[in-house]
Amino acid sequence: MIETPRNTVPVPALSEDLAFLDITTEWDLSASYHQWKPSIVVPAPFRPSPEQVRYVITVANQKGGVGKTLTAFELALSLVARGLRVRLIDADPQVASLTLWLPVIYPEGLSEDQRFSLRDVYYDKCTLAEATYPTRYQGLYLVPSFPNLDQVQNERPTGYETCLRWHLRECDDDFDVTIIDSGPSLGALTVSALVAAHDVVVPVQAASGLDVEGAASLYETINTVTTRMNRDLRVAAIFLTDFEKSKLARTIGGEMAKAFPDALIVPSRTCVKIGEAQLEKKALREFAPEATTVLDYDRGAGILIGRAGL
C-alpha cells in the first residue's frame, strides 16, 4: 500500500450547531403523524463495534440505486473525520461505481498493467494491501474495481466465498475500518463481502414501498451467510435514503425496525446535490457540508463506533 501523497485534502469537520436529528430508542408509531418528528432509532440492545477490532462493514441491498455507494462513501468520510484510517472496497463491477466517483491516486510511473484492482485480489495476483490506493482525501483509501470484476461473479473462483475475509485477516496494514460497497445483486461478490464483515449496513429507499419486500430476500441471504459462514454477522443499521417526512417513510421505518429489531434506523434526508457532487468527483461532505444528509451519516457513523458525541 502506498502512503498518502501530498496532493490529498483533509476531510472537512462539521459545525456542531447544524440540524442533527434527535436520537430515540423507538419511533412512536401511535403518535399522530403531525406531532411525529423523524429521529434516529438506537434500540436498547444495540452495541457499537468494539474499538480493538479492525472493523469491517459491508453495505448491501440487492436493489439498485438505493444509496449503497453514497452510504459507504459518507460513512467512511465521517470515520476519517474522527481520526480513523479507513479503507473502502469497491465490490461492484458496474462502470458507474465508487471507483468512478472516488478515483484512486496511483503512484507516479506505474504503468496500467501494474495497477491492481479487487479482481486481482480474488485471483491471488496481489494482496489486499497492494490493491489499496490513496484517494483525494487524507486517511481514506480505496481498493478500486473495473467491469472485469464481473469475472468473479461469473466464474466463482475456488474459495471465492472466504477470499475477502482471508485477505483482510492476512493484511498487516493498519486500517481501523474497512467498508465494502457491494453491487445490486446477491451474487458471489456480495456473499463474499458478507462473509468478510462484522456488520451489514442496509440502505433502503424511504419512498419506495417495494423496498420493504426486497429487504426480505436480503434478510434470507444474510441468514444463510450467518448460519453457514459467519456466525457473528449482524445487521447493524438501516439507512432510510432519500428520506422526507411522509406517512410512507414512517411506515417503512417501522417495518424495517420490526424486521431488524436490534439495528439502528437512520433517516438519510433527501439532498438534491448528490448528482452534482458525483459529477465533480467530490464527496457530499466536501461538496455540500451543510446538507442534512451529511449530518445523518455523520451521526450514524458515530453511533456505529460508539462515538456519537464526537
Ligand X SMILES: Nc1ncnc2c1ncn2[C@@H]1O[C@H](COP(=O)(O)OP(=O)(O)OP(=O)(O)O)[C@@H](O)[C@H]1O
State which of residues 69, 78, 241, 268 lies at the interface with Mg ion (CB under 5 A).
69
Number of chain residues interacting with Mg ion (CB under 5 A) = 2
Binding flag, residue 99, ligand X (CB under 6 A): no
By CB under 6 A, residue 69 contacts ligand X:
yes
Q: How far apart are CA 161 and CA 182, in angstroms?
A: 14
Closer of 59 and 126 to ligand X (Cβ): 59
Residues that contact ligand X, how many (by CB under 6 A) = 19
| CA distances to 5, 109, 195 from 130, in Å | 16, 16, 21
Separation in Å, CA 260 to CA 41, 97, 208: 12, 28, 18
Helix (H) or strand (E) holding 177: strand 177-182
117 near ligand X, rule: CB under 6 A: no
- Helix (H, G, I), strand (E, B), or coil: what is residue 87? strand
Instruction: Please report, as a single letter, which amino acid is at residue 207.
Output: A
Q: Which stretch binds ligand X (CB under 6 A): 18-26, 31-39, 46-54, 271-279?
A: 271-279
Distance between CA atoms of residues 58 and 68, nearest Å: 10
Question: How crowded is the C-beta side of 39, counted as CA atoms within 13 Å?
Answer: 14
Residue 220 in grid coordinates:
434470507
From candidates 65, 83, 157, 209, binder to ligand X by CB under 6 A: 65
Question: Collapsing DSSP states into helix, strand and coil, what is residue 32?
Answer: coil
Q: Say if residues 263 and 238 touch (Cβ distance below 8 Å).
A: yes
Give the angle subtended at the CA of 208 by the CAs of 205 and 211, to the nearest 5°. 70
Nearer to Mg ion, 38 or 300 (CB): 300
Binding to ligand X, residues 280-309 (CB under 6 A) = 293
Q: Which does 190 bind (CB under 5 to 8 A by kind): Mg ion, ligand X, none?
A: none
Per-residue x/- track, 227-266, ligand X (CB under 6 A): --------------xx------------------------
Identify the residue among 233, 274, 301, 303 touching ligand X (CB under 6 A).
274
Residue list 173-232, contact with ligand X (CB under 6 A): 183-184
Q: How far is the CB of 75 from Mg ion (least distance, A)?
A: 13
Please give the residue ranges that form the binding site for ligand X (CB under 6 A): 64-70, 92, 94, 183-184, 241-242, 268, 270-271, 274-275, 293
